[in-house]
Amino acid sequence: MLPAAARLTRSQDFGLVVRRGRRAGRPRLVVHALTPDVPTLDTPSKVGFVVSKAVGNSVVRHRVSRRLRHVVKPHLESLPPGTNVVVRALAAAASATSAELDADFSSALRKVLR
């Protein structure tokens, strides 16, 4: 589980990251990241997930969400302070293993943070 301070929860925050952030797509997911213009060390990085009905029924969507949370948690410490990330699962994420999701997320995150 991600700590409450590390979660994006407001719809406006999701929209801002998706509209203004950098994007990197992979076969199973798309990662959007928005880094602050002036980073402050006391602002935590936040992550949000979008898993639509295209991924599958509610059981499958929740399984994908849990796997994504597990994949993202170790990367939180390495994000620049104040960075907001939105991870959007694609339909192929439903049949992916955690290792495949981790590889896709790591690769996409490296690209958007360049």
Query: What does the pLDDT profile of the chain (114 residues) look like in tens digits?
Result: 889 999 999 999 999 999 999 999 999 999 999 999 887 778 899 999 999 999 999 999 999 999 999 999 999 999 999 999 999 999 999 999 999 999 999 999 999 998
The distance between the two most distant Cα atoms of the chain, rounded to a whole number of Å, is: 41
pTM over 0.95: no
Distance, CA of 107 to chain centre = 12
Domains and CATH numbers, the chain: 4-112 (3.30.230.10)
Query: What is the 3-class SS of 14-62, one letter each residue?
Result: HHHHHHHCEEEECCCEEEEEECCCCCCCCCCCEEEEEECCCCCCHHHHH
pLDDT given for residue 67 in this prediction: 97
